[in-house]
Amino acid sequence: MPPISNLHVSDLNTMNLDNFRLQLGGKEYVPIVIGGMGVNISTAELALSAERLGGIGHISDAEVMFVCDQLFGTSYVSEKRKKYADNINNPDKSLVQFDLEQLAEAQKRYVSHTIGQKSGNGAVFLNCMEKLTMNNSAATLKVRMEAAMDAGIDGITLAAGLNLRSLELVSGHVRFRDVKIGIIISSVRALAIFLKRAVRLNRMPDYIVVEGPLAGGHLGFGPDDWQTYSLKSIVAETIEFLKKENLDIPVIPAGGIFTGTDAVEYLQMGASAVQVATRFTIAKEAGLPNEVKQHYINAVDADVEVNTASPTGYPMRMLKQSPTLRYTMKPNCEGLGYLLENGGTCAYIDAYQRALESKAPDGRMTVTGATCLCTGMARYDCWTCGSSVSRLKETTNRLPDGSWQIPTAEDIFMDYLLSEEHAIRRPALEKQP
């Protein structure tokens, strides 16, 4: 494509994302990245659709042992629960540890299952949330990253929590310099701190995802001040900062990019690709059950809230109707336990203990202040979404029975790629039986 400076304004108006390519590690990709969505919302099938179409798809390793049990019939969760059965009524979970060999085995199984099905020119990356501290944060993170590299993952996106030691942890791995490593940041300040460490290892990130305040999942902003930030400004500051530091690292904005034209605007600013997720939550290939996809499409703005229910301490955007917000269940750390801080604590355990202590005489109890996100995400009961969720209606067809047609990932991907002037092309109307 010609350099932007040689183009006329009228060209810019009719540009689409297909006029751009992401250059990463000597390879060229369609500049669409489907963001990681745990737990198994961004399935292998979803990630592989992006890969087949020349873009980049993420799988997520959130609760990977649970995901393997669902996909491959293993019994990691029940074995772990059995091992720690005597601890189930104990609010002190310090004893509950993941078996690192089993963790590596599950990670390799899940990643190679996905990588083995690649058929296009794109790539499959792993979203690796560092807030999944698993009661042994450094050791489990090292195992997760190394096992993913062993199994042939193309790239690892370090998310939620950004552990400054993460690069050091895997610096001895043979693929340390060949696997693509990216980071998700929400401020130049966080980026600068991470880069200081990276410089010492002479291993800079290969790409930087700048996630703004309108994204789904956990947010890197305060619960009360996220409205005061804008993705456009943070992207502009990041590009400016990298230029000043003489660093040529692709910048990938994320959060609220709803049309192909929204994406083009970022590429014209100097971004290299975009990361999107909410529009893909309703794809056929996405892991959410069909009823939940229908809830997402039916959502209106008033249904969306940014709350502090996640025990991670990070604000999270979700639909108010999320069943997880009404949980009163006993913590299931013996089976899951992915959010246990080192030392075996979790804000949900504390909230549950408080609720037990003030239980009504008839046995009713209400847990307030935190939800069990391990169970909530595993059961698809936490309906996290980007702020644009209420616009999903614009992207598909209403069927005669009142439900919504579920588009394929390819429908959504191609709409992002070819859309001009903010137009959204709905999928071809599904034939009714």
Residues at the site binding ligand FMN, with contacts judged by CB under 6 A: 35-38, 41, 60, 62, 127, 129, 159-160, 184, 211, 214-217, 254-257, 275-278, 281, 384-386, 388
Min CB(86)–ligand FMN separation in Å: 32
Q: What is the torsion angle, in degrees rounded to the nearest 10, for the CA atoms of residue 32, residue 376, residue 303 and residue 354?
A: -140
Min CB(390)–ligand FMN separation in Å: 12
Min CB(85)–ligand FMN separation in Å: 29
Nearest alpha carbon to residue 115 among 58, 37, 34: 58
Min CB(31)–ligand FMN separation in Å: 14
Min CB(77)–ligand FMN separation in Å: 19
Kindly tell me which of 57 and 386 has the beta carbon lying closer to ligand FMN. Answer: 386
The one-letter amino acid code at 90 reads N
Kindly tell me which of 331 and 386 has the beta carbon lying closer to ligand FMN. Answer: 386
Nearest alpha carbon to residue 412 among 299, 278, 288: 278
Helices 409-418 + 44-52 axis angle, to 10: 40
Min CB(129)–ligand FMN separation in Å: 5
Min CB(344)–ligand FMN separation in Å: 23
Nearest alpha carbon to residue 59 among 33, 25, 93, 87: 33
Q: At a CB cut-off of 8 Å and minimum separation 6, what does 390 contact?
A: 299, 300, 301, 303, 304
Q: At a CB cut-off of 8 Å and minimum separation 6, what does 379 contact?
A: 323, 324
Residues 132/113, Cβ–Cβ less than 8 Å = no
Give the tokens for residue 118: 């690649």
Beta bridge partners of 304: 319
The one-letter amino acid code at 381 reads D
Kindly tell me which of 62 and 347 has the beta carbon lying closer to ligand FMN. Answer: 62
Q: Residue 384 carries which DSSP code?
A: B
Q: Residue 4 carries which DSSP code?
A: G
Residues 110/68, Cβ–Cβ less than 8 Å = yes
Kindly tell me which of 81 and 279 has the beta carbon lying closer to ligand FMN. Answer: 279
Kindly tell me which of 46 and 352 has the beta carbon lying closer to ligand FMN. Answer: 46
What is the spatial distance between Cα 229 and Cα 225, in angstroms, rounded to a whole number? 8
Helices 231-244 + 260-269 axis angle, to 10: 30
Min CB(260)–ligand FMN separation in Å: 13
Kindly tell me which of 135 and 281 has the beta carbon lying closer to ligand FMN. Answer: 281
Kindly tell me which of 81 and 406 has the beta carbon lying closer to ligand FMN. Answer: 406
Given the structure tokens 């709803």, which residue do they identify? 258
Kindly tell me which of 136 and 281 has the beta carbon lying closer to ligand FMN. Answer: 281
Counted residue by residue, the chain has a size of 433
Kindly tell me which of 81 and 409 has the beta carbon lying closer to ligand FMN. Answer: 409
Min CB(17)–ligand FMN separation in Å: 14
Helices 44-52 + 100-115 axis angle, to 10: 40
